[in-house]
Amino acid sequence: MKPLHIDTNSKVPVYLQIVDSIMAAVRDGDLRRDEQIPSINEFSEQYLLSRGTVEKAYKELRDKKVILSVKGKGYFIHRTDVNMPLRVLLLFNKISNYKKQIYNTFVKTLGEGVFVDLHIHHSNVQLFDNLISNHLGDYDHYVIMPHFYEQPEKVLQIIQQIPEQQLLLLDKDLPELHGKYAAVYQNFEKDIYEALYEALPQLRKYSSLVFVNAGNIVPYPPEIRKGFQYFCRMHDFDFSVLEGIEMSTPVKKGQAFIVIEETDLVNLVKICRNNQLNIGTDVGVVSYNETLLKEILLDGITVISTDHEQMGATAARMILEKSAEKVKNPFKLILRRSL
């Protein structure tokens, strides 16, 4: 029998952790019918638990007919048709079209018989703390987008409460977090640099580059901006950074814009139309994150984007295969007429 994870500091009663762990092991095929499990005394000694706690857990397992006791021999697995669907807590930082793509593919790849509970933490550390603390022990896997911009040490402490074999970080890795946990992540700084480098011949048509940050209302990883700035310095571009685009924002011929948020993209297109600036010749436009609309808008808008569907599918497969790998999600440039 493989070692079970028992957390004596968890809010979930220890006897229930024992019940859930043994049932999960049966469901996953780690424990088979007629396989012997440790006696109450052996279990309590192995995990440094009171005999009464283990006895309470074993009684519940007997009541469920998951185990049976054979006099003079010990405890054995009896039922393997345990009706215990895989439970996943999915924590996004926000809802968007891209997050919907990840969610839909994630759920589809997991298949039937898996319960996915979606919550949004809005990059709020206190809300995130409550969501984790109130649900420790309730799920088999915790899939988290760790996009937080304050209290990094507190965030690490919260995540460290989760058993590493149950944790999967999505969209962003945390190098400061130690342990053998799974991750499907973007390397935001490197990704944007490499995508812009691929578009270098087209970008050379323009005299300056402008990075349009999403601002504080909808925060994005600061590594995106850093990657843009590093690219400009390495390739001798004049550049600037804007915190959003309003209808009053000046737009000049010879500028190329890298735009993060959809609202800013719409405003930029309107400004160009109002000032008879042709997108793709007078003004360049690169948008962050692919959507179907960008394929046809203005005969095609150039996009730099990760593959959101693949991210969701990869995360689901890692859960099903019990993988603890760290996988970098593909990032690509899609050149269209806007550049």
Confidence (pLDDT) at 9: 78
**CA distance readout (Å), 79 to 22, 25, 40, 82, 112:** 12, 12, 19, 7, 22
Does any domain span residue 4? no
Beta bridge pairs of residue 188 = none
Instruction: Give the domain CATH number at 255.
Output: 3.40.50.2300
**How does DSSP classify residue 30?**
S
Q: pLDDT tens-digit profile of 261-317?
A: 999 999 999 999 999 999 999 999 999 999 888 988 888 999 999 999 999 999 999
Residues in the chain: 339
What does the mean pLDDT of the chain come to? 93
pLDDT, mean of residues 102-128? 94
Do 60 and 134 lie in one domain? The reply is no
pLDDT, mean of residues 101-108? 96
Do 204 and 97 lie in one domain? The reply is no
**CA distance readout (Å), 180 to 115, 145, 165, 168, 322:** 24, 17, 7, 10, 12
SS3 state of residue 208: strand
Does any domain span residue 337? no
> Is a pLDDT exceeding 80 seen at residue 16?
yes
pLDDT, mean of residues 121-143? 92
How far is 51 from 12, CA to CA, in rounded Å?
18
Does any domain span residue 214? yes
Q: Are 260 and 229 in contact (CB under 8 A)?
A: no
- The confidence band for 83, taking pLDDT boundaries of 50, 70 and 90, is low
Confidence (pLDDT) at 64: 82
Does any domain span residue 253? yes
Do 90 and 34 lie in one domain? The reply is no
Does any domain span residue 3? no
Do 45 and 153 lie in one domain? The reply is no
Do 34 and 53 lie in one domain? The reply is yes
Do 154 and 204 lie in one domain? The reply is no
- The confidence band for 239, taking pLDDT boundaries of 50, 70 and 90, is very high
How far is 113 from 84, CA to CA, in rounded Å?
9
Q: pLDDT tens-digit profile of 248-261?
A: 999 999 999 999 99
Does any domain span residue 6? no
Does any domain span residue 336? no
pLDDT, mean of residues 189-196? 97
Q: What is the extent of the structural domain holding 283?
A: 189-306
Q: Which residue has the tokens 């028992």?
A: 6
Confidence (pLDDT) at 127: 97
Do 219 and 277 lie in one domain? The reply is yes
Do 239 and 294 lie in one domain? The reply is yes
Does any domain span residue 167? yes
Confidence (pLDDT) at 215: 66
Q: pLDDT tens-digit profile of 18-67?
A: 998 898 888 888 899 999 999 999 999 999 999 999 999 999 899 888 99
Do 50 and 101 lie in one domain? The reply is no
Confidence (pLDDT) at 140: 86
Q: Which residue has the higher pLDDT, 218 or 62?
A: 62
Do 130 and 238 lie in one domain? The reply is no
H runs (alpha helix) in 204-331: 222-234, 262-274, 292-296, 308-320
How deeply is 242 buried, as exposed, middle or buried, from its count of CB atoms within 10 A (0-12, 13-18, 19+)?
A: middle
> Is a pLDDT exceeding 80 seen at residue 218?
no
How far is 338 from 284, CA to CA, in rounded Å?
6
Q: pLDDT tens-digit profile of 143-167?
A: 999 999 999 999 999 999 998 989 9
Kindly provide the residue ranges of all beta strands, DSSP E only, lying in the chain, ordered along the sequence. Answer: 36-37, 67-70, 74-77, 86-92, 114-120, 141-144, 167-171, 182-185, 208-213, 238-243, 255-259, 284-288, 302-306, 326-328, 331-334
| Six token digits for residue 323 | 């993988």
> Is a pLDDT exceeding 80 seen at residue 81?
no
Which of 29, 57, 77 lies at the terminal end of a domain, its last residue?
Answer: 77
pLDDT, mean of residues 73-97? 87
Do 176 and 312 lie in one domain? The reply is yes
Question: pTM to 2 decimals?
Answer: 0.78
Do 154 and 214 lie in one domain? The reply is no
Confidence (pLDDT) at 270: 97
Confidence (pLDDT) at 111: 92
Confidence (pLDDT) at 84: 64
> Is a pLDDT exceeding 70 seen at residue 216?
no
Which of 59, 77, 95 lies at the terminal end of a domain, its last residue?
Answer: 77
H runs (alpha helix) in 75-172: 97-110, 125-133, 152-159
> Is a pLDDT exceeding 90 seen at residue 245?
yes
The count of structural domains within the chain is: 3
How far is 258 from 211, CA to CA, in rounded Å?
5
